[in-house]
């Protein structure tokens, strides 16, 4: 009897951390994306951001399924999202395109990251309504990351506009139904 009780306790404990483990995986791939960018491995950087997005899609579902939603999980998810969909895509595109603009390129990059942080902070203090207010940072980061595939097609100025548009959409107050 003691062994089965111990196993039940261990299983419950593991289940209670499943969503947070997935969220940490998101964060790890966001960090790996940054390291890949800094080492010039841009294709890997893009891949790691997409893996982070995949993990981000499921952490909340798992938390709800196992009834493990928590303030810690919400905060951890935001920390992961700012890294994986704010900083990592911004540094990728900055490194490849916007660094050529010097200080102005830095300003656009930091503006995008700051707007993402603002959006996440606003999300964390608002009541859950079934709607997102502003463009989720995951969507903005995915768009910025996808723009990597247009580097040879688009003028570098397009990326400045992309950063501004995504930043403004993140901090705007329009609503989107959660899916």
Give me the residue spans of the domains in the chain: 2-177
Instruction: Locate 42 and state its tokens.
Output: 């841009």
- DSSP codes joined into one string, 143-173: HHHHGGGGTTTS-HHHHHHHHHHHHHHHHS-
Could you tell me which of 88, 50, 65 has the C-alpha nearest to residue 15?
65
Domain 2-177 top-level CATH class: mainly alpha
| Rounded distance between C-alpha atoms, residue 69 and residue 155, angstroms | 44
Q: Residue 69: what pLDDT?
A: 75
Q: Residue 166: what pLDDT?
A: 98
Structure confidence by residue, pLDDT tens digits, 73-124: 889 999 999 999 999 999 999 999 999 999 999 999 999 999 999 999 998 8
72, pLDDT greater than 90: no
β-pair partners for 133: 175
Place of tokens 């899916």: 179
């Amino acid at each position: 009897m003691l062994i089965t009780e111990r196993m039940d306790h261990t299983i419950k404990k593991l289940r209670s951390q499943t969503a947070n483990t997935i969220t940490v995986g998101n964060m790890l791939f966001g960090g790996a994306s940054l390291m890949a960018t800094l080492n010039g491995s841009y294709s890997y950087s893009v891949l790691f951001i997409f893996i982070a997005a995949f993990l981000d899609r499921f952490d909340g579902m798992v938390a709800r399924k196992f009834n493990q939603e928590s303030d810690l999980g919400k905060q951890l998810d935001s920390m992961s999202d700012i890294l994986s969909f704010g900083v990592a895509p911004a540094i990728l595109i900055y490194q490849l395109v916007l660094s050529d603009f010097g200080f102005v390129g830095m300003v656009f990059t930091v503006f995008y990251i700051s707007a993402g942080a603002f959006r996440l902070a606003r999300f964390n203090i608002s009541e859950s309504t079934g709607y997102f207010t502003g463009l989720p940072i995951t969507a903005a980061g995915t768009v910025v990351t996808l723009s990597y595939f247009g580097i040879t097609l688009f003028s570098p100025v397009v990326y400045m506009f992309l950063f501004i548009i995504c930043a403004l959409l993140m901090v705007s107050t329009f609503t989107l139904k959660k899916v």
